[in-house]
Amino acid sequence: MSIEGGVGMKPNWINGAWVPAGSARDNINPSDTRDVIGAYAEAGRAETEAAIAAAAAAFEGWSHSPVEQRHDILRRIGDDILARKSEIAEMLAREEGKILREALGETERAGRIFHFFAGEALRLSGEMLPSVRPGVGIEVTREPVGPVGLITPWNFPIAIPAWKIAPALCYGNTVVFKPAELVPGTAWLLSEIIAKAGLPEGVFNLVMGPGRVVGQAMLDAPELRAISFTGSQATGRIVAEASLRHGRRFQAEMGGKNPLVVLDDADLDLATDAALDGAFFSTGQRCTASSRLIVTDGIHSRFVEMLTEKTRALKVGPALDPASQIGPVVDQTQLDQDLAYIEGARRDGANLRAGGEVVRCDTPGFFLAPTLFTDTDPAMRINREEVFGPVATVLRARDYDHALSLANDTEFGLTAGICTGSLRHAQHFKRHAKAGMVMVNLPTAGVDYHVPFGGTKGSSMGPREQGRYAAEFFTTVKTAYTRA
Ligand code: NAD
C-alpha cells in the first residue's frame, strides 16, 4: 500500500535511529474502516538485515552490562507504559478492535511485565558446587543467548511483545522485534518508549513489515541465536524448520481449541459466565479462548438455555464505544474465515442457537454476532480447527469420564477448564487434562503474568514463556571448573 494520503510515515527503529522505509502500510480501524490510523514503515530485507547486524554488534556490550542498568531501564519502560496507558490502550482498541476496557487491562499488564523483569535483573543467580575432584570448585551460571528475533501476532499487540522483549533484555540479549502487520501502532508506541529508556544503540530494534519479507529475513539470519514466535501453527512450523536448519533455539506458541468442561454439580451462573467470557470476550480472538464447551447431561439444557440468553444479550459495537462489550473482528480476511466456519458447521448439522451473522453498526466495520452452536459432534470441523473468532460449540457428555476424553480429543493443548463443585473431579482434571494450563471454576482465558505460560501437543514448541521460567529460553547455562 502506498503512503499517499497518510499522515506521515512512522519509521522503524534501527541501531538507535528512526529509519523510514521505501514503502508504508495504512493501518485501518476495524471498527470504522474509513478511519486510517496512520502509515507505518514496511521494511524490506535490507532494513531487516541492518537491524540484525546492529543487534549482533551490540550484543557483547549489553551481555556484560551491569544488572542495575538493566533494572533501571526496564523499570523506566514499565513506568512509561503505565503513565501513557490511556493513549496506548486507545491505539490498541482502535487498531485491533478489542474494547477499551480490555485494551487498558492488556496495557497495564505490559507495564507490570517490565516491572517484574526489572526485579528479575537484580536476582540473576547461579550455583556453586564442590567438584568430585578434591581442590576443584564448580560454578553454574546463566548467560544470555545472543541477538534474538521476536515475532508476534496481532491479537495481543502489547502484552505479547512485552513478555518477549522484557525477559530478552533482562537476561542480556539484544533484540530484533517484528510485530504483526495489522497492529503496528501499539508496537510503535511501545518502541518509542523503549527507544527513550536509555539502552545503548542496537540493543533493541523495531522492524515493521510483512512476515514473508521481514520475518523470513530474520529466520534466514544465522546471527540470530534464538527466535521467540507466537502465532499460527502454519507459521510456527516454518519458524521451527528454519531454526533447525540454523541450529538455533526457538520457541513457538501457537493456537488452541480449548475445552471448558461443565459438570452437573457446577454453579450454573458461574459456569455460564466463565463460558461467556472464555468464548466471546476479546471477540474470541484469544489463543486461550474456550471454543469447545463440554457439558454433562444433567445440566446440559439449563446451561444451553442460560448461555444462549447471555450470548444474545451481548452488545457488539465499535471498540471505543463504552457501551460495547464485544468489538469487531480484526479484518475482512478473519471475518470471512469466521463466516466460512459458521457456514460449514451449519452444513455439518450443528444447531445454531445464537449469532451466526454480521452485525450492522453506525460505522462500517467487521462486526460479527457472538455465535453459539449446540448438538455438535466431536468429528465436525468446527470442533477440530481453531476458528479464532467469537464462535463456540457445545458438546454433550454422558459423565465426567466422557467429558475428560472429549476435552483431550484435540491436536491442541493450550488451556483446559472445568466448572464443578467436586474437589475429586477438579483434582483429577488438573492431573489428566492434556494442556499446559488448567483452570478450575474460571474461564480458560485470563492468566497471570508472573507464572509460566504455554501449552502441550500442537499448541507449543520449546520452553515456557513468562515469569521466572522465561530464563529457560533467554539464557544458556555455563559450567565453570576452577582448581583453587
Ligand atoms: P501468523 O502466524 O499469521 O503471524 C504471526 C507473526 O508471524 C506475524 O508477525 C507475521 O507477520 C509473522 N509471519 C508470517 N509469516 C511468516 C514467515 N514466513 N516467516 C516469519 N514470520 C512470519 O498469526 P496471527 O494471525 O498473527 O495470529 C493468530 C494466531 O496466533 C492464532 O493461531 C492464535 O491462536 C495464535 N496465538 C497464540 C498465542 C499463544 O501464546 N499460544 C497467543 C496469541 C495468539
pLDDT at 330: 98
- Strand extents, DSSP E, 213-337: 226-230, 249-253, 258-262, 290-296
Cα-to-centroid distance, 273 and ligand 1 (Å): 29
pLDDT reported for residue 473: 98
Residue from 109, 232, 338, 410 to probe ligand 1 pocket by mutation (most atoms less than 8 Å from CB): 232
pLDDT at 59: 98
d(CA 4, CA 475): 44
* Grid coordinates belonging to 164: 518477549
* pLDDT value of position 379: 98
**What is the structure's pLDDT at 26?**
97
The residue ranges of the chain whose pLDDT is under 50 are 1-7
Please tell me whether the overall predicted TM-score, pTM, comes out greater than 0.95 for this model: yes
Q: What's the 298 CA to ligand 1 centre distance in angstroms?
A: 39
pLDDT, residue 8, reads 84
Percentages helix, strand, coil for the chain (3-state, rounded to 5) are: 40, 25, 35
Is residue 432 a contact partner of residue 440, using CB atoms and an 8 Å limit?
no
Question: Whole-angstrom Cα distance, residue 24 to residue 6?
Answer: 9
Residue 6: predicted pLDDT: 40
Taking CB atoms and a 6 Å cutoff, what residues make up the pocket around ligand 1? 151-156, 178, 180-181, 211-212, 215-216, 219, 230-232, 235, 238, 253-256, 287, 386, 388, 414, 459
Instruction: Identify the residue whose C-alpha is closest to ligand 1 atom 23.
Output: 231
Atom 14 in ligand 1: which residue has the minimum CA distance?
Answer: 211
pLDDT value at residue 484: 80
What is the position in ligand 1's atom list of the atom closest to the CA of 180? Answer: 9
Q: Three cell numbers at 238?
A: 516454518
Look at residue 3 in the predicted model and tell me its pLDDT. 38
| Catalytically active residues, by annotation | 253, 287
